[in-house]
Amino acid sequence: MDCSGEFIAFAVETGVLRFGEFKTKAGRLSPYFFNAGLFSDGASLNRLTDFYARALLAANLPCDMLFGPAYKGIPLVAGTAIALAQKGRNLPYCFNRKEAKDHGEGGTLIGAPLAGRVLIVDDVISAGTSVRESVELIHAAGATPCGVLIALDRMERGQGELSAVQEVQQAFGIPVVAVASLEDLLAYLGGRPELAQNLQAVFRYREQYGIKK
């Protein structure tokens, strides 16, 4: 089992990826729900960010440092930096706070100074708002956004024919690396007869809302 299939299995085992009927922000009834916020203990965060590190190394995407947008991106960027260092790739990292601090070190950025090619680390891309804000912060510091690393690409249309991931790639001209995608989820379900009902539901959802290959 490759990294993506292993990740899907891990997300299901931990209850982070669930099946049923869930209403999305777009008002769609989705047969599955992924909530990275449920990776909420040391062991699960350790495994999660190890998957992030493996996906980044497999993508062979050149970058000089990592950036985690507040708030979900903060533990993700720190954990991914640790996981990469354990694999022999030691990168500086930085994250932001939502409100500027007017005492101590001040400002909105914490960690290494934003410089060079900066990879944004987040959980998922929904509307692309977090990526847009991150790109603005990186540019304001004189650095260059070089890509986005996320856990799951749902591969479904946004307002138009493109997915949220495709919209980010088109708007900012940067690649998006996902640990796993909807295709990986379908492959996982297809190998488990006991989950056949969920496979059909997810397949129908993709037929209705999925992006064109």
Mean pLDDT of the chain: 92
Q: 58-92, pLDDT tens digit by residue? A: 999 999 999 999 999 999 999 999 999 999 999 99
Which DSSP symbol is given to 71?
T
- Residue corresponding to tokens 């986005």: 148
Residues 6+ apart with CB under 8 A from 42: none
Nearest to 120 by CA among 107, 137, 105: 137
Q: Which pLDDT score is estimated for 18?
A: 95
State how far the Cα of 29 lies from the Cα of 146, in Å rounded to an integer: 34
Q: Which pLDDT score is estimated for 107?
A: 75
Dihedral (C-alpha) 59, 62, 64, 67: value to the nearest 10 degrees? -40
Neighbours of 203 (CB within 10 A): 16
How many angstroms separate the Cα of 63 from the Cα of each of 55, 178, 189? 14, 16, 34
Contact 3, 55 (CB under 8 A): yes
Q: Which pLDDT score is estimated for 1?
A: 45
State how far the Cα of 5 lies from the Cα of 174, in Å rounded to an integer: 25
Active site amino acids: 101, 103
Instruction: Specify the 3-state DSSP secondary structure of 59.
Output: helix
Determine if the peptide bond prior to 188 is cis (ω within 30°). no
State how far the Cα of 188 lies from the Cα of 36, in Å rounded to an integer: 19
Q: 3-15, pLDDT tens digit by residue? A: 899 999 999 999 9
Residue spans of the domains in the chain: they are 3-209
pTM of structure: 0.93
Write the class of the CATH domain 3-209: alpha beta
Q: Which pLDDT score is estimated for 99?
A: 74
State how far the Cα of 153 lies from the Cα of 116, in Å rounded to an integer: 26
Q: 34-63, pLDDT tens digit by residue? A: 999 899 999 999 999 999 999 999 999 999
Q: Which pLDDT score is estimated for 128?
A: 81
pLDDT band at 185 (very low <50, low <70, confident <90, very high): very high
Which DSSP symbol is given to 210?
B
pLDDT exceeds cutoff 70 at 101? no
